[in-house]
Amino acid sequence: MKNKNPTLPLLSASPLPGAALAKTGLAVAAMLCSFAAQAQVAIFQESFSSGLGGFTATGTVGTSTGAARMEGCYGCTDGAITSGAISTQGFTGLSLSFDRVTSGLDSGEAGIAEYSTNGSTWTAVESTRVTTNGRVTFSLPDTAAGQAALRLRFRIDASLSSETYTVDNVQLTGIPGDTGTNPYAKGPNPTTSMLESSTGPFTYATTNVSEFSASGYGGGTIYHPTNVAGPFAAIAISPGYTGTKSTMSWWGERLASHGFVVITIDTNSIYDQPYERAPQLMAALRQLVTFSNTSSHPIYRKVDPNRLGVMGHSMGGGGTLIAARDNPTLKAAIPLAPWNTSTDFSSVRVPTLVVACESDTIAPVSQHASPFYNSIPASATKKAFMEMNNGDHFCVMTGNDYTRIMGKYGVAWMKRFMDNDTRYSPFLCGAPHQADLSNIQISEYRENCPY
């Protein structure tokens, strides 16, 4: 047998009772915890019900039983699984929980759980020969919090293939950061139910901008929070070809109720092309800043001129991508079922969420949304692609059937990148996002987490 010393100090181990907790029970427990003030929320979780999921393997590893089973090996590579990069930025008080059981291990052998903040140096949180099922929770040190690329690894140190270490129901949780440290963060800690609701935590009012008073665009409606102090990030939204501001009204309501000043615009002509809609989006943002500097205007002192974003549908989505390409100081962009004659947006550096409609025959995904997304460099730009199952070209407009899931991602994207609010990161990259990937309304999702 291998002459290795597995004895390592444990980091605040707190064994939990129960042999093999049901995965549904874990989900309920996590949900109940999320309701408490300063409660732990899930950052990452993996149940291995569909293979390795967020982990990759070396050595001999199997998942046929719905758990990750690692085997020892004499003179070759022992089984191990390593997670992808996990962002713990904006979180404190990290806890790592998992079920584990070893079988057949001799003296000097172990199943080992560890983490790394740089991908090369690993710190063990447990080294065990325990031979019965059990769930444990470990409090990770403060140095594991606030990391852009924390990784988890589970491995066996043994000599025979009959000696195994099995891990299941891995969950990393943390406490969302104090919003007082982020001057832009507003509102309560986000929950799935809050983000999926038709309105957020704030009330809002509307103010019309007539076509005669609009500067550089065709008029619009401003949606602005009323029961929370500003300033707020501001978003301009363009309709599609022949469309009007009313087709985007649900986005104005949803985003304003989560703490944004939003203007849904009419274009100078309903036939304007994407290259004409891009400067109109920017003109609307500039006028919002002007209104915010005007003491008699309803949005006086409500707009932060340094936090501006754009959205748009169809040709408005093409205009959104052009605006993002030409205005790198924008904080975020969301093109919705975008249409444009060029598919090259390789110079976009603004964090961009592309929303597509699977059955779109006007802007077919394979010719528009998908190549737009693919052209944005993953190495330089935070990006994501969400396709709505069976949606037609109008699946993003007012009155659609996807507001619950689409609104959640739209709000979370803007909160994360316009407000720099990392409390929303789990809904884009963490456990809540992973749970959404089985949602029947999402036919495809791509991203370059962590962020």
Quick: pLDDT tens for 141-181.
999 988 878 999 999 999 999 999 999 999 988 886 655 57
- Confidence check: pLDDT of 4 > 50: no
User: Across 177-273, where does the E strand assignment appear?
Assistant: 204-209, 220-225, 232-238, 261-265
Chain centre to alpha carbon of residue 320: 20
Calpha distance 362→358 (Å, rounded) = 11
At 5 the pLDDT is 36
CA dist 83 and 61 (Å) reads 14
- The residue ranking higher by pLDDT, 58 or 41, is 58
Taking the CA of residue 299 as centre, how many other CA atoms within 13 Å lie in the half-sphere pointing to its CB? Answer: 32
% pLDDT > 90, the chain: 77
Query: Tokens 């594991």, residue?
Result: 144
Length of the chain: 451
C-alpha dihedral over 279, 208, 224, 203, to 10 degrees?
-150
The residues facing 369 across adjacent strands are: none
The pLDDT of residue 420 is above 80:
yes
Q: Check residue 147 and give its pLDDT.
A: 82
Q: Name the CATH superfamily, with its identifier, for domain 179-447.
A: Alpha/Beta hydrolase fold, catalytic domain (3.40.50.1820)
Residue 434: how many CA atoms within 13 Å on its side-chain side?
A: 19
Considering the chain, tell me which residue range(s) the CATH 3.40.50.1820 domain(s) occupy: 179-447
The residues annotated with a catalytic role in the active site are: 314, 360, 393
Instruction: State which H helix or E strand residue 277 sits in.
Output: helix 274-292
Dist. CA 193–CA 197, nearest whole Å: 6
Residues forming CATH 2.60.120.260 domain(s) in the chain: 23-176
Q: Which of 88-92, 223-227, 366-370 has the lowest mean pLDDT?
A: 88-92
Report the pLDDT averaged over residues 20-40: 40
Question: In what helix (H) or strand (E) does residue 447 lie, and over which residues does it extend?
Answer: strand 442-447
Strand-strand pairing, 91-103 and 164-176? antiparallel
26 has a pLDDT exceeding 70: no
Which two structure tokens, joined as six digits, stand for 123?
């710190």
pLDDT at 16 over 60: no
Answer with the residue of higher pLDDT: 19 or 78: 78
- Average pLDDT taken over every residue of the chain: 89
Model pLDDT, residue 230: 87
Q: What is the pLDDT of residue 84?
A: 85
Q: What percent of the chain clears pLDDT 70, i.e. is strictly above it?
A: 89
Looking at per-residue confidence, does 18 or 199 come out higher?
A: 199
Beta strands in 294-331 (DSSP E): 303-313
Assign 393 a pLDDT band (cuts: 50, 70, 90): very high
In the predicted structure, residue 305 carries a pLDDT above the cut 50:
yes
Q: Which of 269, 354, 247 is nearest to 310 (CA)?
A: 354
pLDDT of residue 39: 56
Quick check: 125 and 110 in contact, CB under 8 A? Answer: no
Grade residue 50 by pLDDT with cuts at 50, 70 and 90. confident
Q: How far apart are CA 246 and CA 251, in angstroms?
A: 10
- Which of the 8 DSSP states describes residue 140? P
Segment 275-300 mean pLDDT:
97
Q: How far is CA 14 from CA 11, 95, 97, 139, in A?
A: 9, 10, 9, 9
Closest among 393, 432, 394 to 411, alpha carbons compared = 432
Tokens, residue 110: 């172990």
CA distance 360 to 371: 14
Q: Which residue has tokens 């190549």?
A: 371
E-strand spans in 104-163?
110-116, 123-128, 134-139, 151-157
| Nearest in space to 276 (alpha carbons), one of 262, 287, 265, 289 | 265
Give the C-alpha separation, 385 to 380, whole Å. 16
Phi/psi region, residue 75 (left: phi>0; alpha: psi -120 to 50; beta: rest), is left
- Contact between 387 and 352 under an 8 Å Cβ cutoff? The reply is no
Query: What element of type H or E holds 282?
Result: helix 274-292
Q: Which fold has domain 23-176?
A: Jelly Rolls (2.60.120)
Backbone angles phi, psi at 23, to 5 degrees: -65, -35
